[in-house]
Amino acid sequence: MENETLDAVEKFIVDKEGLAKENKYEAPKGWVNGLTLYNRGTTSYSYLVNNLFLKTGISTIYGVEDTGKSQLALSLLLSVIGEETFLGKKINTEHKRGLLISTEDAEEDIEVRLHMMVDNSEYLEDNLKRLDTRYTAKDPVKTLSDYLEKTKVDLVVLDCFGDMFPHDMKQLNHTRVWLQEFYELTTQYKFHLLFVHHSKKGSEAYKPHASNCSGVGLTAKGRTSIEFRKDPEDIDKRHVCIVKANHLKEELKQDSIEVKFNHGFFKVSGSKQFDMLVITDEEKSRLMEKIVVLSATKTQAVIAEELGINQSQVSRYLKKAKHDEKYS
């Protein structure tokens, strides 16, 4: 019986090999045959950052104004070119190189941030030679293509999407067609592309979801979509919310990655269920009250530093307070 089983196995192997030889087939140029895909033996995804960003493809980080989404993206870039992990997740690079095209921040802004990050940590400034930056966004597809013909990178950050997209963001077809050009670049040159974008106004009143991203089509086309949220109770904390990632198990998309700002980098401090991240009008009112009280003895810059928010946010709250009878 054992010999019969071995004979059957041997026959199966011979038959399978014979079938493969008889049906040897090469797909037309530009196509890939199904058997070729199967025989590559790929059984798991290749990650740039484990369980977060794939090696190739498009992703998005979005959030409301003054959340720190651009800083999060810069922190990711510096981690990719010079660190082993990002938010506690292993980084897997081929080149340890990155690109930043920024229309959201000026060159001087990035200079200040780099000094904040490098001068106050053990991060090696020599790593920065593997980061190239640009501050104009004219024809970003051609700009990237020309650069990547000469230099290979692991990660490209485009900040922000709204400045670079040349069409109406409410038109799904325009968005998908435009993004397809970038997607093809990522597969051709084997890198990951991250867009930084804005949330819809008032989205903090709802739990994190892909529908909170401004416009249509960006999250649908991307492999990973992250909503970056402020904590409704602790203004020193932020939340990385993976709202879309079809390469991840559902349980990894239920809770946030809670982080604290640390000299430009972000350190993991816990997690929260998405339902717990809704910021109500009552919570906004408490923050305004705290800012008004502090403004009696402190400058806006000091208030911003103490509360872990942007000085422009402090200014806006104080302007609102002037028109609020409660503070008049």
Residue-wise pLDDT for 37-90, tens only, equals: 999 999 999 999 999 999 999 999 999 988 999 999 999 999 999 999 999 999
Query: Cβ neighbours of residue 153 under 8 Å, at least 6 residues apart?
Result: 95, 97, 98, 99, 189, 191
My answer on whether omega of the bond before 160 falls inside 30° of 0, hence cis, is: yes
Asked if 208 contacts 218 with a C-beta cutoff of 8 angstroms, the reply is: no
Q: What is the pLDDT of residue 271?
A: 96
Residue-wise pLDDT for 273-294, tens only, equals: 999 998 777 777 888 889 999 9
Q: Which two tokens stand for residue 150?
A: 């000469």
Quick one: 153 exposed, middle or buried, by C-beta within 10 A (0-12, 13-18, 19+)? buried
Dihedral sign, CA of 270, 275, 276, 280? Answer: positive
Q: What angle do CA 255, 207, 278 make, to 5 degrees?
A: 100
Q: What is the pLDDT of residue 23?
A: 55
Of 218, 207, 132, the closest CA to residue 170 belongs to 218
Q: What is the pLDDT of residue 5?
A: 45
* Residue 247, amino acid: H
Residue-wise pLDDT for 170-204, tens only, equals: 888 889 999 999 999 999 999 999 999 999 988 98
Residue-wise pLDDT for 205-237, tens only, equals: 899 999 999 988 899 889 999 999 999 888 889
Average pLDDT, the chain: 89
Running DSSP on this structure, what letter comes out for residue 233?
S
Q: What is the pLDDT of residue 328?
A: 66
Q: What is the pLDDT of residue 8?
A: 45
How many C-beta atoms surround the C-beta of residue 280 within 10 A?
11
* Residue 171, amino acid: Q
Of 194, 185, 192, 129, the closest CA to residue 159 belongs to 194
Alpha carbon distance 87, 75 (integer Å): 10
How many C-beta atoms surround the C-beta of residue 284 within 10 A?
15
| SS3 assignment, position 226 | strand
Beta bridge partners of 240: 228, 257
